[in-house]
Chains A and B, each alone.
Chain A
Amino acid sequence: MTSDKELGNLSGSYALNGLDAADLAEFEAHLGQSPATRDEVTELTDTAVLLGLATRPVQPSAGLKASIMDQLDAHPQLPVASTVAASSAAASSAAFESPAGRKAQARWFTRPVTALAAVAAAIALFVGGGVVTTSLAQNSFAQQQADQLAAINSADDAQRASVDLADGGTATLVWSNTLLSSALIVDGLAPLPADRTYELWYINDAGARPAGTFGVAGSGSTWRVLDGTMKAGDTVGVTVETRGGSDAPTTDPVVVIASA
């Protein structure tokens, strides 16, 4: 165990993203307990930004922007209010009084680092490989959703069901009836043309409720926490819809998983 004084010494390296893995975990735990360290890290991070702005700007190639704009549909935006992350941040917000403290709080409690690691491990269990975890590390939407998936996966009543897909892949649903929430993990789903998207549905006797859209990259592997509230016994389906999604399914589902 490292002393607080030694940990406080890591603030500069933290602001430069220079900490080795073991130090990083210990320092982030320390950040949660030390408002003074948080303030210092906030200021040193702002200082590091000035180092970044002192580098020579580089004009991107002409194709880069078009390539990014084309991918926006496959990268859903986070909703404005955080759910799980917000409640955990509120629980640990006691010591943020100064403006720097509030700034620090806002920054340091928005990265569900431990949840992310837990989810990466869980997904590796489901699909048995590194494909999904690779994209996870680079994808912040996944990072943000990681809290929710970790919560579902660690719920006392977490359940899962897998189905084989027509063209050889698998889809796994993990859900919790107490959390009213579920996530779908797919492996081997075919990528879609740019004007189409996969759309998730909660389905029961009353009909199908839209639960978010997603795209898959070349590997065909991804995962997504479903939007909205799951009702006990809902079936989860995936259809191919036009870009932007539909209010009701317009094609036959490519994935159907019953949660009962």
Chain B
Amino acid sequence: MLELVPGDSDMRDADVSDPAGETPASRLQELLARVGRGDRQAFSALYDEMAPRVLGLVTRLLRDPAQSEEVTQEIFLEIWQTSSRFDPNKGGASTWILTMTHRRAVDRVRASQASRDRDVKVGIRDLDADYDHVAESVEVRIEHERVEKAMARLTDMQRQAITLSYYGGYSNSEVAEILSVPIGTIKTRIRDGMIRLRDEMGVAS
């Protein structure tokens, strides 16, 4: 269903601005706009919609459940404080929230001493490793399969470097060390791979 139809740009835009699937993008945007005006009821609804997504991504990077909830709390307080600056013309609500989420999770991974002890295998195992296809809703499964399919089109090194960076929270120099590849090569592979993913998944501004 989410195999992209080249040339159907409306369709693609709709996908990009509404990656959460089950929640219409317009509803999330409306909620976030109301949160920006101090509406606690809207904040509560936004939390219910997005908290499992936010905590899911944070947990993927941090692993530790208690720390992951702590960071999720910081993220939602940041959403509360800065939502007045959210402008739907500049990108979708879930894009805004997930971008903030990843940045905060990476900050925590880097700051945490435990990050030095992270098992490299956690970073480089497949996206699929701990994924339970049966348990997820259709929408989540579709998103997952879409990414999985696009990832399969990358070279091994592109995929490993992107997986370590995004899901492992490793910096370029750490990725270079883990994969025993010069850092310049890592930077190039990550960029090439991300451009490939962008094109495979039909992301356009």
Contact = CB atoms under 8 A, between A and B. Distances in A.
A58 B191 contact: no
Interface in A10-25: 10-13, 15-20, 23
Nearest to B193: A12
A15 B190 CA distance: 10
Contact of B83 (A9, A53, A77): A77
Contacts, number: 218
B170 A18 contact: yes
Contact of B205 (A54, A77, A103): A103
A83 interface: no
Contact of A72 (B40, B127, B136): B40
B52 A59 contact: yes
B80 A77 contact: yes
Nearest to A19: B172
A59 B143 CA distance: 18
Interface in B180-205: 184, 186-188, 190-195, 197-198, 201, 203-205
B161 to A, nearest CB: 9
A61 interface: yes
Nearest to A85: B85
B53 to A, nearest CB: 6
A121 interface: no
B20 to A, nearest CB: 7
A9 B60 contact: no
B81 A18 contact: no
Contacts of B20: 53
B205 A99 contact: yes
A58 B59 contact: yes
A56 B107 contact: no
Interface of B is mostly: helix
Interface in B83-112: 83-85, 87, 89-91, 94-95, 98-99, 101-104, 106-107, 111
A49 B165 contact: no
A78 B84 CA distance: 6
Interface stretch (B24-32, B70-78, B113-121): B70-78
Nearest to A110: B85
A75 B80 CA distance: 8
Contacts of B40: 69, 72
A69 B29 CA distance: 20
B36 A9 contact: no
B99 A47 contact: no
Interface in B36-92: 36, 38, 40, 43-44, 47-48, 51-53, 55-57, 59-60, 68-69, 72-74, 76-78, 80-85, 87, 89-91
Contacts of B60: 55-56
A137 B78 CA distance: 12
5 contacts: A48-B99, A50-B203, A52-B98, A102-B89, A137-B107
The 8 residue pairs across chains A and B that have the minimum distance between CB atoms: A100-B205, A12-B191, A57-B52, A54-B147, A106-B90, A12-B194, A18-B165, A12-B190
Given A56-B60, A77-B81, A103-B90, 11 more contacts: A13-B191, A18-B171, A53-B19, A56-B140, A57-B55, A58-B52, A67-B73, A77-B38, A77-B82, A107-B90, A140-B78
Interface of A: 6, 9-13, 15-20, 23, 39-40, 42-61, 64-65, 67-69, 71-72, 75-80, 82, 98-100, 102-103, 106-107, 110, 137-141, 144
Interface of B: 16, 19-20, 36, 38, 40, 43-44, 47-48, 51-53, 55-57, 59-60, 68-69, 72-74, 76-78, 80-85, 87, 89-91, 94-95, 98-99, 101-104, 106-107, 111, 127, 130-132, 136, 140, 143-144, 146-148, 162, 165-167, 169-173, 175, 184, 186-188, 190-195, 197-198, 201, 203-205
